[in-house]
Amino acid sequence: MNRDGALALGRAALVAAYPFLAHAASARSDGTLAALATFDIALILLLPALAHGRVRALASLACVSLALAWLARTHYALVPLLLVPVLFVALVAWGFARTLRAGRVPLVTKIATALETGGTAQLEPDVARYTHSLTRLWAIVLFALAAINFVLALLAVPRGLLATFGIATPWPVGETLWSWCANAATYGLIGGLMVAEFAWRSRRFPGRYHGPVDFAKRMAALGPGFWNGLFRDGKSR
């Protein structure tokens, strides 16, 4: 396995670990686990630079570690966990939405073009329209999930955003319910939408993939370089 593949695998493992750490921290109101979950996010973001031995990344990780060690002992230890699901989902939603602007290639269209033509030709008109609509759907769904998570983070008790900063919560929501929604249900809904969309696409455009395993292999075959640059350039050429 080359370095890019190892980095992709490492980031995938860190991403998979985060919901479990975050839910355990929330369920136990444990500042140390909350700090570990936030540290996990920092590693996800800094891992490529760390792998290249960049001094700035090492210094950033050291600063994050010191800040989290302090935060873990305070009343505000869970605040980052309340905000991470909101910011992460909203950021991905923005990644979809920004490619819908004039002069840009919709994100799903870019993926479909790479899968079906190797990025060397345009999609069939009906497929292009479908991928444009699907990009819009993902943007709407993800922004909606981010908004729901933000409202739940505000209302969670006893350590939601409002309660943490001493503001009375008008409609209290249990912290466990918030955690399940933010760290499990959100990603379950995303996964469910992916499965349902694949089933619908297979019926609407039959014969393109030999089942979900074949589709997953073709997605993986695009390589880390494609996926790392997916959100960077949505401009049409």
pLDDT for 237 equals 46
One domain, residues 71 and 86: no
195 and 178 in a common domain: yes
What pTM was estimated for this model as a whole? Answer: 0.81
Tell me how far CA of residue 82 lies from CA of 12, 53, 200, 225, in angstroms.
22, 31, 34, 31
Last residue of a domain, one of 76, 103, 124: 76
Range of the domain at 134: 78-237
Residues 128 and 202 both lie in one domain: yes
- Among 21, 50, 76, which residue terminates a domain? 76
Residues 16-43 have a mean pLDDT of 90
Six token digits for residue 98? 């920004």
Same domain, 124 and 202: yes
- Mean pLDDT rounded to a whole number for the chain: 88
pLDDT of amino acid 235: 57
Specify the long-range contacts of residues 154-162, CB closer than 8 Å, at least 24 apart: 156/82, 158/29, 159/29, 159/75, 159/78, 160/82, 161/79, 161/82, 161/83
Note whether 147 and 234 are same-domain residues.
Answer: yes
CA distances 18 to 3, 42, 46, 66, 151, Å, are 23, 11, 15, 20, 21
Q: What pLDDT shows up at residue 158?
A: 87
Whether residue 59 sits in one domain with residue 154: no
Give yes or no for residue 114 having a pLDDT over 50.
yes
Mean pLDDT along residues 186-193: 94
Based on the fold, state whether residues 84 and 99 are members of the same structural domain.
yes
Contacts of 70 (CB under 8 A, 6+ apart): none
Chain centroid to CA 35: 19
176 & 125 share domain: yes
Residue with tokens 């033509």: 117
| Same domain flag for 108 and 68 | no
**Average pLDDT of the residues in 201-227:** 84
Query: Is the peptide bond between 224 and the residue preceding it cis, with omega within 30 degrees of 0?
Result: no
Domain final residue pick, 13, 45, 76: 76
- Reported as a single tens digit per residue, the pLDDT across 51-69 is 888 999 999 999 999 999 9
Asked if residue 66 lies in contact with residue 212, where contact means CB atoms within 8 angstroms, the answer is no
The verdict on 72 and 82 lying in the same domain is no
Between 131 and 103, residue with greater pLDDT: 131
The CA distance from 104 to 97, in Å, is: 10
Predicted confidence (pLDDT) at residue 120 exceeds the cutoff of 90: no
Q: How confident is the model at residue 211 (pLDDT cuts 50, 70, 90)?
A: confident
Whether 102 and 14 map to the same domain: the answer is: no
Mean pLDDT of 176-182: 87
User: Lowest-pLDDT range, 68-72, 77-81, 132-136, 190-194?
Assistant: 77-81
Mean pLDDT along residues 130-144: 97
Number of domains in the chain: 2
Measure the CA–CA gap between 118 and 111, rounded to whole angstroms: 10
Is 91 found in the same domain as 166? Answer: yes
Least confident of 130-134, 179-183, 193-197: 179-183
